[in-house]
């Protein structure tokens, strides 16, 4: 007989919430030259209240600069935007020519904000 304790129930509920959040996540994807990764990440960081700031953007960008081609990396953050917490996952994949696919995955509520910032950055640089 399986005995479910309060701790096990809480853990199960937390895991279910995490899976639901991942299933509802919205992806924002772009490809940029390596030199655009840091300013793009900084622009995204600028609109968030906490959880992913300039130093985080710089840290991710520094790891992207030295990542081997065709070996993706990812970083996960819990960010705060307008008094609500949201998941933020950033994935990067660089090709042998120095073009980086940058993929942001976040909540449906935060995704339009990030999409607007990514588009504004790309448009301001003629990309």
Q: Which tens digit of pLDDT belongs to each residue from 20-44?
A: 355 689 999 999 999 999 999 999 9
pLDDT given at position 24: 84
pLDDT digits (tens, 9 = 90+) for 66-81: 999 999 999 999 999 9
Instruction: Please determine, for residue 117, whether its predicted confidence score (pLDDT) is greater than 90.
Output: yes
The answer as to whether 93 is a domain residue is: yes
**SS3 assignment for 60-99:** HHHHHHHCCCCCCEEEEEEEEECCEEEEEEEEEEECCCCE
- Confidence (pLDDT) at 7: 36
pLDDT at 119: 96
Query: What total of structural domains would you count in the chain?
Result: 1
Q: What is the CATH number of the domain that holds 87?
A: 3.30.70
Range of the domain at 86: 25-124
Cβ neighbours, 10 Å, residue 83: 6
pLDDT tops 80 at residue 12: no
């Amino acid at each position: 007989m399986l005995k479910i304790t309060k701790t096990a129930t809480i853990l199960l509920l937390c895991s279910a919430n995490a899976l639901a959040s991942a299933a509802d996540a919205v992806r924002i994807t772009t490809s940029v030259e390596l030199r655009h990764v840091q300013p793009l990440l900084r622009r995204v960081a600028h609109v968030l209240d906490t959880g992913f700031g300039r130093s985080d953007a710089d840290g991710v960008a520094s790891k992207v600069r030295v990542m081997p081609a065709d070996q993706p990396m990812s970083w996960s953050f819990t960010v705060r935007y307008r008094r609500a917490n949201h998941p933020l996952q950033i994935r990067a994949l660089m090709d042998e020519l120095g073009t980086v696919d940058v993929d942001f995955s976040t909540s449906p509520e935060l995704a339009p904000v990030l999409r607007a910032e990514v588009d504004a950055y790309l448009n301001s640089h003629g990309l």
